[in-house]
Amino acid sequence: MDKLYKSKSKKFFANDHETWGHKWGYKDTRFILNDDRTVRMLGDRYELAGIDMPDFIPYVEEMLEVKIDPEDMLKQNEDMPIGPPNINEQFVERIKGIFSDDRYTFADDDRLIHSHGQTTSDEVYKVIYSRIDSTVDMVFYIESEEDAGKLIQLAEEFDVCLVPFGGGTSVSNALQIPKNENRMIVAIDTRRMNSIEWINEEDRRVCAQSGITGSRLEELLEEKGFTVGHEPDSIELSTLGGWIATNASGMKKNRYGNIEDIVENVTMITPKGDINQVEPLTRASIGMKPQNLLFGSEGNFGIITKATLKIHRLPEVQKFNSAVFPNWRTGVDFMYDLSHTNFIPASARLVDNVQFRFGQTLKARPEGLEKLIEKIKKFMVLNIKGFDPYQMVAATFKMEGSQEEVDYQEKNIARLTKKHGGLVGGAENGKRGYMLTFAIAYVRDFLTDYKVIGETMETSVPWSKIHQVCEAATKRLFDLHEQHGIPGRPYMSYRIPQIYHTGVCIYFMLGMSVKDVENAADLFSSMEHSIREAIMENGGSISHHHGVGKLRKDFMQDTISPASIDLLKQVKRSHDPKNIFGIQNNVFTD
Amino acid sequence: MDKLYKSKSKKFFANDHETWGHKWGYKDTRFILNDDRTVRMLGDRYELAGIDMPDFIPYVEEMLEVKIDPEDMLKQNEDMPIGPPNINEQFVERIKGIFSDDRYTFADDDRLIHSHGQTTSDEVYKVIYSRIDSTVDMVFYIESEEDAGKLIQLAEEFDVCLVPFGGGTSVSNALQIPKNENRMIVAIDTRRMNSIEWINEEDRRVCAQSGITGSRLEELLEEKGFTVGHEPDSIELSTLGGWIATNASGMKKNRYGNIEDIVENVTMITPKGDINQVEPLTRASIGMKPQNLLFGSEGNFGIITKATLKIHRLPEVQKFNSAVFPNWRTGVDFMYDLSHTNFIPASARLVDNVQFRFGQTLKARPEGLEKLIEKIKKFMVLNIKGFDPYQMVAATFKMEGSQEEVDYQEKNIARLTKKHGGLVGGAENGKRGYMLTFAIAYVRDFLTDYKVIGETMETSVPWSKIHQVCEAATKRLFDLHEQHGIPGRPYMSYRIPQIYHTGVCIYFMLGMSVKDVENAADLFSSMEHSIREAIMENGGSISHHHGVGKLRKDFMQDTISPASIDLLKQVKRSHDPKNIFGIQNNVFTD
């Protein structure tokens, strides 16, 4: 993984990397449709790879009520069209005078990679099948804080727009380039700043550069017996700077915390100087804390160059488990009870029946003894315990800690499962649930070729409004689908990936066939906007962890007061008066 | 407790209340020196009250190397001198036109009460034995958010300075009135806004008004079977608004969190409108979060009127325990190990030998069977286990939760105690440790009459620097004491009241005799400043929970970057351009 970082002779360029750049993830991995209509994940990067899965296409066709037809596919662009760069001569001349030419590029493909994130309809769909109109004009790869300061200084001097860029996995259109930006636009790629600056094992802190990916950070720490424990679904690709900029959440937040719990100090270089604390602070009372504003800054404000995070010794034990419940409401009641206890595992997730059945399809056709065992299990669950295969839901758990801690959690979770009429499902099913997490984005890209648009949406909602929000979002999707005469049946599925004291995160997966649908991407985008309205009208928040970007900026007025919005604009005006960081996310639209 | 709030016929006025107003706490409670040189706490409010304690004076005299002499006492002011109010005629005329006369007062004693907090040398010492020069001119008691908005509007119109006032327990000079403030100064007392607005039992949230004290909040919630669990030492007196304004911490933060973990929404009325979130938010990603700036706002910015907090069902079990260790370093090692586990109790504290012996003095002379048992215990600890009475330290624990949870903690804590060569001390000693917390401030006021100045200081420090900071602070105190030729010997004691992943809170208690010392209060204040320098040079923070106020403003430049300070000043300039909230705390000095 990330072998290029170890090679001193070759510097990182996004257009010459093992990641796709436009589609999600790695070039060695994608799903393909075999002639026998099984589906396989190519490569050997993931556990799911190399398995012919027979149930996937039947599931998709059943749920969407359309045929997956290799004769009727969207054509991917062969050449990725992009306009010529808008060059600010004086700026470029100064750059060339100061930096060697392996520090920047005007190459079309590198520019295009830096002109979008991973939002399905507005970004990925368009760059792959259509075109993106607004692009960056140059890509600069910073290698130090001094570089960041220099770029900002030059941008101020020559009125250039800067766009910080980490892993490019934004799903809020945060990386979408504003159409009305007329200045030269330079993407500041941070990924060459991917080192650990220091580790303090006694105090359990690490200082890392902002361009480090989650995987690399964990890899380097593991060598010393430590972990940060932040595991967003995008861990292989997303960076520390991006996590702070989006106020990210990770799978194991119950044990390790979300990004605001993990990070003790941030350094951001802004046009008015560096925002940081002189020392990382164990909990302190220092008055109003400017650092608190950097979480969720979404590229509007400066370049994050490094941060100090809490680290933990690798746990003695890591163990999976799972449980199935008769239906969604029972599963939610289980999660509610779990949230009040002292045995919440590092990760606890509940998936609905639709997602549970989807998970069942990402398996090989069982053979021989395995087939027999599967049949017995199924029989036990469906016939002996009386579970309805179209109602049952599943919870998956990952437990980490000392042997005693894990035993304590496992024992108590089993007891609570029984109390709610559930069945303990075992470690294998638990592990499988998490395995799918990293495959999902590849599924999206696979299905889009077959004219199926899929997207995820997420929200935080109080316990008392979970069902209301799920029902309202589902109804809105189905109403819009019918209203617009879209083929087949819409796909809606949800899970609860995080539980909290007062509420949960709900993570929706939506999809629909767009065969013969005009302006499919824009239509889908408008439907998503309307579903967000329905979510928020019923008590859901603007976002749990994906952030606001441009996708949800319309909902900021329903989230914070007008005076709060003014405050943020004032902060922007005072710290970036020339709008150097002109990405226009959140309330900072022109 | 707080009976006046229940009486509808009589509104709260600070000068007609069961609290002292100038000294700490309640009028029914103070320490007295008996003729036989035992010490007793009057009243019956606290468990410690009514007991004649024979070992207290000998301990104080031994530690300070001075005599406590009833013939040589400081004389408390009989009349509290205060200058006449500075009246802004137009403002007052408008107030009188809008509000009835039980909403405000110009009474000298009420004004004086609102002109200081509880910082020992700069505030309490001066108001009781000398005089405070800068005072408020009027006290206004708000009863609604509309009142707050109206006062701000009038203050802007007529250029009046407003000082929000809750429990008045600040120990950072935050409530000290700036000498250079020439406008009329109005204290805005929030304590009539002390209701609960709503409770949501399913989502486990409460919305309370900002003037509610900790005790009242817990009292009202207890009736419904809930608790917030925030227990600062000042819980009887301090208010929700004050906790937010100082980024407060509470004794049981391990279970319930500190204020920033507990509060999900804040409403603050500012000259530019209300800062708040439309709904309280379970963890969300909304971009830059203005609410994050309200924690630690220290009265510089607006009036906090209400907040939404997490609540918990009252725990099934509450249990104390304790442990003694051979010496401070061993105790710290124990706490370090404890911080890595999943059995950290709601509260875990370690006191040093000096404080341990101090705690032993706050007891009655044991008689009969009790005396025998005390002797046996002492023998066991000192002779059988070989503990040195001048080295040993104590840890106290409060455990809360289900029976299973508490058993799990207790069992594991006992095991860890043994591992570090400690002795489990039992529930009685544990409970006693916490009992003393509420008595300490009364001890301060008692001893000041005998020309002993005592104060607490606190800091947060990484694990690796605990000993360095304790030694440096101690050395600085002793050096200054000698340098200034102060009588007797300085008193220095510390405890670790809070542990965290990367470090701890250290809470120092300092004291010295000031017999025949000129300008004792100012000298003490300068010594405190120098000790803070020593603390910070060695890795301690500006404050763990008391905040910055005016007392520590000089250290902000060692805490956050210049650009961070500029950002805060910009926020102030844009949201309070006329400096209506002119208390000048933290970086907001003129």
Q: What does the DSSP assignment read for A170-195? A: -SSSTTPPPTT--S-EEEEE-TT---
Pair of tokens at residue B175: 């409530």
pLDDT at B9: 57
Q: Which of A283, A558, A575 sits opposite B258 (nearest CB)?
A: A283
Q: Report how far residue B379's alpha carbon sits from residue B385's, in angstroms, rounded to the nearest whole number.
A: 9
Pair of tokens at residue B187: 């204290």
Q: Are B178 and B590 in contact (CB under 8 A)?
A: yes
pLDDT tops 90 at residue B5: no
- pLDDT band of B2, cuts 50, 70, 90: very low
B539, A566: Cβ pair inside 8 Å?
no
Q: Residue A73: which residues within 8 A CB-CB, separation 6 or more?
A: A449, A450, A451
Q: What are phi and psi of A263, to 5 degrees?
A: -90, 130
Q: Are A245 and A268 in contact (CB under 8 A)?
A: no
Q: Report how far residue B322's alpha carbon sits from residue B394's, in angstroms, rounded to the nearest whole number.
A: 7
Enumerate residues 293 to 352 of chain A having a beta carbon within 8 A of any beta carbon in chain B: 293-298, 300-301, 310, 312-313, 340-342
Q: What are phi and psi of B395, to 5 degrees?
A: -115, 140
Task: Provide the CB-side half-sphere exposure for A529 (13 A, CA).
Answer: 15
Which one of A283, A294, A407 makes the best mutation probe of the B interface by having the most chain B beta carbons within 10 Å? A283
Residue A198 touches chain B, beta carbons under 8 Å: no
B567, A293: Cβ pair inside 8 Å?
yes
Mapped onto helix, strand or coil, the DSSP state of residue A90 is: helix
Say which residue, A106 or B363, is predicted with more confidence: A106
Which chain B residue is nearest to residue A572, measuring alpha carbons? B567
The neighbouring-strand residues paired with B322 are: B396
Provide, as residue numbers in chain B, all residues whose Cβ is less than 8 Å from the Cβ of A559.
277-279, 286
The distance of A165 to chain B (nearest Cα, Å) reads 17
Residue A411 touches chain B, beta carbons under 8 Å: no
- pLDDT band of A9, cuts 50, 70, 90: low
Is 0.85 exceeded by the ipTM?
yes
- pLDDT band of A436, cuts 50, 70, 90: confident
Residue A283 touches chain B, beta carbons under 8 Å: yes
Q: Nearest CA to B151 among B199, B114, B185, B106?
A: B185
Classify residue A502 by its DSSP letter.
S
What number of other Cβ atoms are within 10 A of residue A337's Cβ? 12
Give the predicted TM-score (pTM) of the model: 0.95
Q: Report how far residue A549's alpha carbon sits from residue A588's, in angstroms, rounded to the nearest whole number.
A: 10
pLDDT tops 70 at residue A100: yes
Q: Report how far residue A209's alpha carbon sits from residue A196's, in angstroms, rounded to the nearest whole number.
A: 6
A202, B463: Cβ pair inside 8 Å?
yes
Mean pLDDT for A126-135 is 92
Mean pLDDT for A14-33 is 93
The rounded radius of gyration (Å) of the Cα atoms in chain A is 24
What number of other Cβ atoms are within 10 A of residue B13's Cβ? 19
Which one of B336, B548, B564 makes the best mutation probe of the A interface by having the most chain A beta carbons within 10 Å? B564
pLDDT tops 50 at residue A6: no
B74-120 tens-digit pLDDT: 999 988 888 899 999 999 999 999 999 999 999 999 999 999 999 99
Mean pLDDT, rounded, of chain A = 94
Q: Nearest CA to A210 among A199, A195, A198, A230?
A: A195
Q: Which of A454-468, B122-136, B355-369 has the highest mean pLDDT?
A: A454-468
Residue B566 touches chain A, beta carbons under 8 Å: yes
Q: What percent of chain A has pLDDT over 90?
A: 88
A255-304 tens-digit pLDDT: 999 999 999 999 999 999 999 999 999 999 999 999 999 999 999 999 99
Provide, as residue numbers in chain A, all residues whose Cβ is less than 8 Å from the Cβ of B293.
288-290, 292-293, 567
pLDDT tops 60 at residue B229: yes
Mean pLDDT for B335-362 is 95
Which chain A residue is nearest to residue B267, measuring alpha carbons? A561
Cα separations in angstroms, B326 against A1, A257, A411, B430, B483:
50, 35, 37, 17, 33
Residue B559 touches chain A, beta carbons under 8 Å: yes
Q: Which of B340, B558, B587 sits opposite A278 (nearest CB)?
A: B558
Please classify residue B15 by burial: count the beta carbons closer than 10 Å to its beta carbon, then call 0-12 exposed, 13-18 middle and 19+ buried: middle
At how many degrees (to 10) do helices A145-158 and A89-98 cross?
150
Task: Provide the CB-side half-sphere exposure for B578 (13 A, CA).
Answer: 16
pLDDT tops 60 at residue B6: no
Mean pLDDT, rounded, of chain B = 94
- pLDDT band of A365, cuts 50, 70, 90: confident
Cα separations in angstroms, B532 against A288, B235, B331, B489, B551:
20, 26, 24, 20, 10
Mean pLDDT for A133-146 is 97
Provide, as residue numbers in chain A, all residues whose Cβ is less than 8 Å from the Cβ of B575.
563, 566-567, 570
Q: Are A16 and A107 in contact (CB under 8 A)?
A: no
Enumerate residues 353 to 382 of chain A having a beta carbon within 8 A of any beta carbon in chain B: none
Q: Are B273 and B574 in contact (CB under 8 A)?
A: no
pLDDT tops 90 at residue B492: yes
pLDDT tops 70 at residue B289: yes
The distance of A141 to chain B (nearest Cα, Å) reads 25
pLDDT at A128: 94
Pair of tokens at residue A82: 């992009």
DSSP A248-287: ---TTHHHH--HHHHEEEEEEEETTEEE-BSS--SS---S
Which CB contacts under 8 angstroms, 24+ apart, belong to B50-55? Answer: B51/B363, B51/B364, B52/B364, B52/B365, B53/B361, B53/B362, B53/B363, B53/B364, B53/B365, B54/B364, B54/B365, B55/B360, B55/B361, B55/B363, B55/B365
Q: Which of A276, A285, A568 sits opposite B290 (nearest CB)?
A: A568
Buried-state track A28-47, b at ≥16 Cβ within 10 A, e below 16: ebbbebeeeebbbbeeebbe
Which chain B residue is nearest to residue A408, measuring alpha carbons? B408
B279, A567: Cβ pair inside 8 Å?
no
The neighbouring-strand residues paired with A512 are: A453
The catalytic residue among A141, A256, A450, A507 is A507
pLDDT tops 70 at residue A473: yes
Q: Are B211 and B241 in contact (CB under 8 A)?
A: yes
pLDDT tops 70 at residue B434: yes
Provide, as residue numbers in chain B, all residues whose Cβ is less than 8 Å from the Cβ of A273.
561-563, 566
Token pair 């303090």 is found at A200
Torsion, Cα A471 A472 A478 A481, to 10 degrees, reads: -160
Furthest CA-CA distance within chain A: 77
Cα separations in angstroms, B78 against A408, A501, B29, B129:
62, 52, 19, 9
B285, A296: Cβ pair inside 8 Å?
yes
Mean pLDDT for B197-218 is 98
pLDDT at A79: 84
Classify residue A439 by its DSSP letter.
T
pLDDT at B436: 79
> Count H helices, E strands: chain A?
18, 20
Q: What percent of chain B has pLDDT over 90?
A: 88
A502, B203: Cβ pair inside 8 Å?
yes
Instruction: Please provide the distance, in angstroms rounded to a whole number, between the alpha carbons at the two ends of chain B.
Output: 40
Pair of tokens at residue B584: 């000048």
Say which residue, A377 or A419, is predicted with more confidence: A419
Residue B272 touches chain A, beta carbons under 8 Å: yes
pLDDT at B3: 38
